[in-house]
Structure 1
Amino acid sequence: MLNRLLPERAFYLGQLFENAAARFGSTPVTLDQPLATFPERGRDLTYAALADVVDDLAARLWAAGVRPAERIAVHKGANFDIALIACAAARIGAVPVTLSPALSGQIIDELLRRLDQPWLVTDADKIDGDLADLNLESLTRRVLVAGTREHPTGLLLAGLDDAPRRDPVRMHPSQPALITHTSGTTGVSKLMVHTAQTIFHRLLPQQIIAWPVRRRERVALCMSFVHSRFFHSLGVFLNYGNPLDVLVDPDPDVIGPIFTRTRPGLVETHPNNFIQWEELADAPGAPLASVRYYSTTFDAIHPRTIQRLLGASRRRNPLMVQLYGQSETGPISGWWYTPNSARETDGRCVGFPLPGFIKVRAVGEDGAPVRRGEAGHLEVRSRGRVLTYLGEDGRYRSQLNGSWWRLGDMGYLNRLGMLFLIDRDIDQIDSIDSNLELEDVLMSSLDELLEVVIVKGPDGTPVPIVCTRKDAPLDQDRWRKAVQDMPPMSDPLHVPFADLPRTSTWKVQRVQLTRMLEEGSLRTVDSRTAAR
C-alpha cells in the first residue's frame, strides 16, 4: 500500500498538490482567510484548485527570473500562501527558504546574509514594517511582492497574469530541496537544509501512523506554515485524500465557530495552542465534539490539556496522538492517550522511539551511553536529519557524536525503552530536578493558568512566570498551596499572556524571557509596567 502511495524514496514538494489532485481533485479545502495573492479565489477550494494555484505561482516565479537551484526566501504575512509559494518555487527546481512572519527585521537581515543574496518573496506591509531598515537591494537578488498591493521595491507577482505554465523541474533527491529555520528559542535561528530524501524519511513513519484516518476524517491544520512539520502533514493527508481546514488564526474565538461549522475529525496544532483551546471544551456549539483524534508535535503537552480535550469529544474512543521531535531530525518518538490513560499520564513521557526509523540513547558528560533509567544528554540516529546549518557547518558538526545527533535535551529511557524528557540543557536550574515537571504539576493544580514557565532569576533563584486566562487575577492563596511541597522559588510574576516572547510554533523563548527578567523589562498584569 505504501509503495503505491509513496512510490519514490523522495518527497517532491513541487508536485505535492498536482499528484493529490490527480487522485482526489474534488476534495474540499476550507480556509479561514483568503489567499493573500489570489483573494478572488475565496475560502472554499479543492485539491484541484490548489494544484492550479501552485502551477500558476510557479509560472509567475519563472517569468520573474527564478531558476533551478536558486534560493528563494519567503517572508511575508501569515497566510496559507506561504506554503503554496514554497511549493511553487520547488516546482521549478528552486530551493524555497521559509522564514517565519514573526522574525524581527534584525534576524531576517542576518539570515538573508547567510543565504547569499537569495530571491525574496515578501509583501508591501513587511517592506514598510519589519524590513523597513534593511538594504534589500544589497541583501537579495531581487524582491518579489506577494499579495495585491504593489510596492516600488519589488515586482508584484499578481501582475504577471500572462506567465505561461511550465512542466515541473525535478532536482536530484540528494540536493537541497527546502530550507527551514530552527525555533530560535536560544538566539538567532539556524537555517536547516533538507533534501527530498530526508523529507521522505520523515514522512514515511507519519504516513503509517495516519493510516486509520485515510479519507475518513476531515482534518484541521492550524500550524506554522514555515515549519517542515506543516509540509509533512500536508503530504500525509493529501496522499490520503482527506478534506482539509487550513487555519491561520489560533484564537479560540475564531477556531470555535469554524469547527462548529466544518466538524473536523482530526485536529493538529502546536501544544501551546491546545492549551488555549481548552476553553473550547465548554464553548457554545460544542466545537470539539466531532474530534476523534488530536495530533501534536514540537513539544511535550501538559496532562491537564490532554484530559480536557479528550473529555470534550463526543466520538467513541477519542485519542491524543503525541509525537516528540526536533526540527533537525523530524519525529523521534510517539505515544497516544485515551480518556482513561490521560488521567494517569506522566507529562514528561513522550513515548517510544519510532521502531525501524529512529534510535535514541542517553549519554553522560563523557559521551558514553548511560544505563536505562539514568538521566543524560539525549542523542538520536535518524535518516531524516538535515544536511547542515547553512553558513554554520561547524556549529552543526559540533552536535554530532559520531553518527549520533545531540538533541540538546536532558532525559532518560526507562527499562521498557520509553523516553522521558527532563529539561533543555540550557534551561536547567541547580535547585530543581526538572523545570518541566514542576510546570506540569502547577498547570494541573491551577486551572486558571494558561502558561507557567520557571526560569533562573538574576540571583540564581527559580522564578515562576505565570499567565492566566484573559489575564485574570492570580489567587495567591491557591498558588501558595500549589507550591508548598516544591523546591523554594521566588513569588510568581504574573505577566500578560501576549507579552511572552514566542517562536513561530508558539514555544516560549526561555532565553529571551530570562534576559527580559534580568533587564527588568517584563510587565506585570497588575501594574502593566516593567517588573523590577
Structure 2
Amino acid sequence: MFLQRIGNQGIRLGTLFERAASKHGSNVLILDHDLDIAPGLGRRATVAEVADLIDDFAARLWAAKVRPGQRVVVYKSDGFDITLLACAAVRIGAVPVLLSPKLDGETVAELVRRTDEPFLLTDQAKLENELPSSVFEFADRVLLTSGSHRGATELAALAGSPRVAPVTMPADHPTLITHTSGTTGTPKLAVHTGRTLQARYRPQATVMRPLVPGRETIAMHVSFVHSRLITALAISLFRGFPIVVLRESDPKHVADLFAQLRPGILEAHPNSFMEWEELADDPRRPLANVRLFSSTFDAIHPRTVQRMLGASERRAPVFGQLYGQSEIGPAVVRSFSRRRGQDADGRCVGVPFPGFTEVRVVSRDGKEPSETNPGYIEVRSDGRIVTYLGEQARYDAQVNDGWWRMGDVGYRTKWGCVHLLDREVDLIEGFGSTLAAEDTLFARLEQLAEVVIIPGEDGRAVPVVCTKDDVPLDLAAWKAAAAALPPMADPVQWRIGDLPQTATTKIKRLELARLLASGSTVAG
C-alpha cells in the first residue's frame, strides 16, 4: 500500500468542481432531469456554473447554522443535487450522510437517530409521504431542499446568503458517510475520509488513462448516494470530459439520449447494462461511439458484456469490470474485449491493482480454497473506510490484521485471478456457485432479463426469473438450458420491477427469499 500513502492529502470533495473549473471551466455537465434545488439552471450547465451553485448552497447551509464537523443527513427525492449538496456540506467542513431515496422512512428515521442529532436535509414530499414525525426528534434541525413544511427551514428562503470561504478539514477527518447496500439487513453507515477516497481515486485514474488517452464524453448512471460516483466524477472533471448524468435507466429514454449525445465512455451498474441490452438492436446505434464500458460493484454476466461490445463501432472497445465494496472501494479489475466470447468465465472478476490493493482467499474449513471448496475473500487497501458509524465492534469483526472480509466466497487461480462464486449468506451447500449457474442460464436463454437463484425453505435452490417484456417463460427452453446444472426447483416468474433492490440495483436476495417463503403474490 506504500504507493497510496505518498502525498495523499485527501480528495477535497468540497472544492472538487471549483478546482476542475479552474482548468476546464467551460466544460459541460448534461442532466436528464431538473435539479430540485435549482430548476432554473436547466439540464445543461458548465462546470463553472455548477461550482458556483455548490458555493451558493454552502453559504445557505452556513446561514442555517451548519458548522464544521457537524453531520448533515441528505435524504431527498432522487436527483444529482444529492451529490451537489454533499459537496456543499463538505465545502464548509460538515460531514454529509447520504441516504438512498429508495430507503423506507422508518429505516431512514433509525439511521438519523444513529447519526446523533444531525441536520436533516430533505424535501416536502419525503416529509409528507415517507418520513415518520420522529425525525424531528432525532434531528437537530430539518432543512428543506424544496417545498415547505411546518417546523422545517426552507433553503430557498436563504438564497443570497453571504458566501463563505471553503473550510479544509484534515485528510484523516471524516468527509463523507454513505450506507451499505442493505442486501443483508438494515444498512450500515460507512465513514470515509478524504484520504480513503483519494486512495480509491488513484488506481482508477491510473487504469483509465491508457484506456482513454484522449477526451471523451462520459455518461454515468450511478447511484447518487454511492461513493463510486465521487471518484468517477473526480476522474472525469480533472480530465475535462463532458459529463452526462442520468437519473433514469429506462432503455427507451437512454437510447434517445445516447443517440443524440454519442458518449465515448459509459459508467453504470451491472443491472443497468443488463437492462440496456436492447440498445444493441436500436437502428440509431446509440452505443456506436462507446470506447469504454465501465461497471463496478459486482461481476457482470458475459452475455451482457458481449452485447455491449458488439454494439460499439469503435475499433477496439473495452469493457472494464471493477469488483469491490462500499467499505473497501475497488479491489480488483478485469477487462473484456470482443475476442473474449460469451463463454468467457464470468466468475473471474480480475486481479488486484498493482501497488494499490491486495487480495487473499482464506480457507473456511482448513482445506485449500478451490472452485469446489471456496474460501473467504479478503482485501487490503488504503481505501478502506475507517469505521461503521456507531457500530465499531461490527466494523472490527470484519478486519483481521489489516485484511477486510468482503462477505463473498471464491478462490484464486495459479495466475492470480480472483474468482467470485457467491455471497457467504447466499451459499447453497452442495449446489456449487449460484452466480455461475445464473451466468449459464443467461448465456443460453435470450429471453431472460434477470435470474436469481436463492435457497427455498427446504434448502433446495429456487430460480426466480424475469423475462423481457414479461412474456411467459419458455419452459422447454428453460429445461434444456438448465439440464447440465445442479437440480433446482421449478422456476418462479416475477416482474423485474417487483424484485427488491438496493440503491445500486442489486437484488436483495435474502429479502427475496423471505418474500417467497411468506407466499408473496407480487410475482407476475
| Cross-structure match for 2:76 | 76
Q: What does 1:422-501 align with in structure 2 at a 5 Å threshold?
A: 422-501=421-500
Q: What does 1:19-98 align with in structure 2 at a 5 Å threshold?
A: 19-98=19-98
SS of alignment partner, residue 465 of structure 1: strand
SS of alignment partner, residue 396 of structure 1: helix
| Cross-structure match for 1:530 | none
Task: Give, in whole Å, the separation in 2 of the partners of 1:383 and 1:284.
Answer: 45
- Structure 2-normalised TM-score? 0.97
| Cross-structure match for 1:528 | none
For 1:427-456, what per-residue CA distance to the aligned partner results, in whole angstroms no more than 9, with x for missing partners?
000131100000000011101101000001
| Cross-structure match for 2:123 | 123
164, 172, 184: which one aligns with 1:174: 172
User: Given that residues 361 and 369 in structure 1 are in contact (C-alpha distance below 8 angstroms), is that contact kept between their aligned partners in structure 2?
Assistant: no
User: Given that residues 360 and 381 in structure 1 are in contact (C-alpha distance below 8 angstroms), is that contact kept between their aligned partners in structure 2?
Assistant: yes
| Cross-structure match for 1:189 | 187
Amino acid at match of 1:191: L
User: Given that residues 214 and 240 in structure 1 are in contact (C-alpha distance below 8 angstroms), is that contact kept between their aligned partners in structure 2?
Assistant: no
SS of alignment partner, residue 339 of structure 2: helix
Task: Give, in whole Å, the separation in 1 of the partners of 2:509 and 2:370.
Answer: 29
Residue identity over aligned pairs, in percent, reads 48
User: Given that residues 362 and 370 in structure 1 are in contact (C-alpha distance below 8 angstroms), is that contact kept between their aligned partners in structure 2?
Assistant: no
Q: What does 1:76-475 align with in structure 2 at a 5 Å threshold?
A: 76-131=76-131, 133-147=132-146, 149-212=147-210, 213=212, 216-365=215-364, 370=368, 375-475=374-474
User: Given that residues 342 and 443 in structure 2 are in contact (C-alpha distance below 8 angstroms), is that contact kept between their aligned partners in structure 1?
Assistant: no
Task: Give, in whole Å, the separation in 2 of the partners of 1:522 and 1:422.
Answer: 30
SS of alignment partner, residue 261 of structure 1: helix
| CA-CA distance at 1:214 after TM superposition | 5.4
Can you give the 5+ residue segments of structure 1 that lack an aligned partner in the other structure?
A: 526-532
| Cross-structure match for 1:529 | none
| CA-CA distance at 1:343 after TM superposition | 3.2
2:488 is the counterpart of 1:503: no
Task: Give, in whole Å, the separation in 1 of the partners of 2:420 and 2:477.
Answer: 28
User: Given that residues 215 and 242 in structure 1 are in contact (C-alpha distance below 8 angstroms), is that contact kept between their aligned partners in structure 2?
Assistant: no
Tell me how large the CA RMSD over aligned residues is: 1.5
User: Given that residues 105 and 134 in structure 1 are in contact (C-alpha distance below 8 angstroms), is that contact kept between their aligned partners in structure 2?
Assistant: no
Amino acid at match of 1:357: F
Task: Give, in whole Å, the separation in 2 of the partners of 1:137 and 1:124.
Answer: 13
Task: Give, in whole Å, the separation in 2 of the partners of 1:306 and 1:144.
Answer: 43
Task: Give, in whole Å, the separation in 2 of the partners of 1:495 and 1:30.
Answer: 35
User: Given that residues 214 and 241 in structure 1 are in contact (C-alpha distance below 8 angstroms), is that contact kept between their aligned partners in structure 2?
Assistant: no
For 1:481-501, what per-residue CA distance to the aligned partner results, in whole angstroms no more than 9, with x for missing partners?
111121111110000111000
SS of alignment partner, residue 341 of structure 1: coil
| CA-CA distance at 1:113 after TM superposition | 1.1
SS of alignment partner, residue 508 of structure 1: coil
| CA-CA distance at 1:344 after TM superposition | 4.0
For 1:271-323, what per-residue CA distance to the aligned partner results, in whole angstroms no more than 9, with x for missing partners?
00100000000114111111111000011000000010100011110110110
Task: Give, in whole Å, the separation in 1 of the partners of 2:392 and 2:278.
Answer: 44
SS of alignment partner, residue 79 of structure 2: coil
SS of alignment partner, residue 277 of structure 1: helix
SS of alignment partner, residue 144 of structure 2: strand
| CA-CA distance at 1:163 after TM superposition | 0.4
| CA-CA distance at 1:160 after TM superposition | 1.2
| Cross-structure match for 1:13 | 13
Task: Give, in whole Å, the separation in 2 of the partners of 1:46 and 1:475.
Answer: 50
User: Given that residues 363 and 369 in structure 1 are in contact (C-alpha distance below 8 angstroms), is that contact kept between their aligned partners in structure 2?
Assistant: no
Can you give the 5+ residue segments of structure 2 that lack an aligned partner in the other structure?
A: none
